[in-house]
Amino acid sequence: MANVSKLATDALTAGDGMLRLAPTWVPRSFLQPGRRLKLHPVDYYALGMDRGGIDERWFGSTTEAANENRNEDEGLSYCVHNGERFLLRDVVAELKSEIIGDAIWDKYGKWPVYSKFFDNMGPIPHHMHQNAEQAAKVGQEGKPESYYFPPQMNAIGNNFPYTFMGLEPGTSKQDVIDCLDRWNEGDNGILDLSKAYRLKPGTGWLIPPCVLHAPGSLVTYEPQWGSDVFGMYQSLVEGRMTPRSLLTKDFPEEFHNDNAYMVDALDWEKNVDPNYKASNYLEPIVSEEGDGWCDKWVVYGKVNGEQLFTAKELTLQPGAKCTIQDGGSYAWITVQGSGSIGNMTLQSPVMIRFGAMTEDEVFVTCSKANAGVTFENTGTEPLVGLRYFGPGAQPDAPEVGAHMK
C-alpha cells in the first residue's frame, strides 16, 4: 500500500488535514428506494435489477455492506485526489493514528464506525442487530446505531413515516416465538406486539443492539457501529415477503431452526421498557453558537454505558463564518447550501449521476478536528452539514433526555 500512503499524504497536504470523499451507493434487494438521495432517476438500479434499488448512501465508511452478490468494494468510501481514487480503509490502515487519532487506533486498530442515509418508500421489516458477543459467534461485530431525520431530506414523508420499536410491556417470549413459528403463513403478526412512533424531521433516536425496530419511511442519517449484522423478525412487509434467511443469517448455523434461540437473543428488558421513548428519544441540543451560526448535537448518549458514536449538525447563515474544534476525526456531509470547509469547496448537489464526483463529503483527520476547522457560507441560503464521530471522541456530549432539561 506504499502508493496509497503517498497518495493519501499528498491529499492530506493539499487538503490541510482533510480528505475529499466520493459518494458511496448501496442497494438493498428486499427494499424499495424512496428516491430522495439526489441520485439521478435513471440510476437507482445502476447495479442491476437483480441487486435491487439503491436506497442508501454511506459516509466515511471502512465497513463492507453485507449484501448477497455484492461488489468487492460495496459500502467502502473512496478518497479522491488529482483524479486518483483510493480506499479510506487503506488510508487508515496505512497512516493509522495520523488519520483517526491515538485513542481510537490504539483500541480498535481501524475506523470502527460509519454513517449513512437510508431512504425507503415504505417501512423496513421489524429487526434487531446482534450485540458484540452474539456477532462474534459468526465472526462479526455487533451493531448499535442511531437515527436523525434531516429536514432538508424529508420534504415528503413517503408511505409510512412511523417506526415500530421494541415490544409492548406484558409481551411474553412465547408470543414472539409463536410469530416466528408462523413465518410461512404470510404476515406473522409481530407488529401486533409492538408500538409505532410517529417520526418527526429534526429529531432522532438511539437504537441499542438486540432491540427490535422497523424503521419508517423518512430519510434517516444513521451513525452506527461498523457492522452490517441483523436478524429480521417480520415475515411480510407491505405485501413483500422477507426471506427467512434474513432472520438467521447472522446466527450460528446450528440454531437456524431454533425459534426460541432467536427470541432469547433479544434484550428483553430494553424491548419491553415501559419508558422506551424517554430512554431512547433525541432532540437537538445546542453545542455552541455565534454570529449567524449554530452547532447542535443531534446524536448523543451512551449505549450500555459507553459512548460509541455522536453526531452534530452545523448551520451557517449566508455570509457567516466560524471555526469549530472537535474531540476527534469525523466524516462530514453537506445537506444544504454552498461554502467551504477549510480550503475545500462545499456544495450540496441537486442531482447526482451514479459514479459521478461531488463536493459535499469530506473526512477530517483527528489532529485537524482538534486544531479547529473553519467553515464559511458563501451562498444565498443556509449552509448545513452533518458530521459523526467515533467512540469516546466527545466526552462532553449530553446524555439521553438532556433536551428536556
- Locate the domains of the chain by residue range: 24-82+110-282, 285-404
176, 230 contact by CB (below 8 A): no
220, 118 contact by CB (below 8 A): yes
94, 130 contact by CB (below 8 A): no
What pLDDT, in 10s, does the model give residues 179-227?
A: 999 999 999 999 999 999 999 999 999 999 999 999 999 999 999 999 9
CATH level 3 topology of 285-404: Jelly Rolls (2.60.120)
> What integer pLDDT is reported at residue 343 of this predicted model?
98
What pLDDT, in 10s, does the model give residues 259-295?
A: 999 999 999 999 999 999 999 999 999 999 999 999 9
> What integer pLDDT is reported at residue 264 of this predicted model?
98
> What integer pLDDT is reported at residue 336 of this predicted model?
98
CA dist 322 and 312 (Å) reads 15
Higher pLDDT: 1 or 354? It is 354
387, 312 contact by CB (below 8 A): yes
What pLDDT, in 10s, does the model give residues 81-132?
A: 999 999 999 999 999 999 999 999 999 999 999 999 999 999 999 999 999 9
What pLDDT, in 10s, does the model give residues 46-77?
A: 999 999 999 999 999 999 998 888 899 999 99
> What integer pLDDT is reported at residue 298 of this predicted model?
98
How many angstroms from the chain centroid is the CA of residue 84? 26
Cβ-based neighbours of 13, under 8 Å, separated by 6 or more: none
pLDDT band at residue 2 using 50, 70 and 90 as cut-offs: low
CATH level 3 topology of 24-82+110-282: Jelly Rolls (2.60.120)
Q: What is the mean pLDDT of the chain?
A: 97
Contacts 24+ apart (CB under 8 A), 108-113: 108/391, 110/62, 110/226, 111/60, 111/62, 111/226, 111/329, 111/390, 112/141, 112/225, 112/226, 112/390, 112/391, 113/223, 113/224, 113/225, 113/226, 113/308, 113/309, 113/388, 113/389, 113/390, 113/391
pLDDT over 60 at 256, yes or no: yes
What are the residue ranges of helices labelled H in 199-325? Answer: 245-248, 259-264, 268-271, 276-280
pLDDT over 70 at 378, yes or no: yes
Cβ-based neighbours of 274, under 8 Å, separated by 6 or more: 169
- Whether pTM > 0.95 for this model: the answer is yes
pLDDT band at residue 381 using 50, 70 and 90 as cut-offs: very high
Same fold, 24-82+110-282 and 285-404: yes
What pLDDT, in 10s, does the model give residues 14-39?
A: 999 999 999 999 999 888 999 999 99
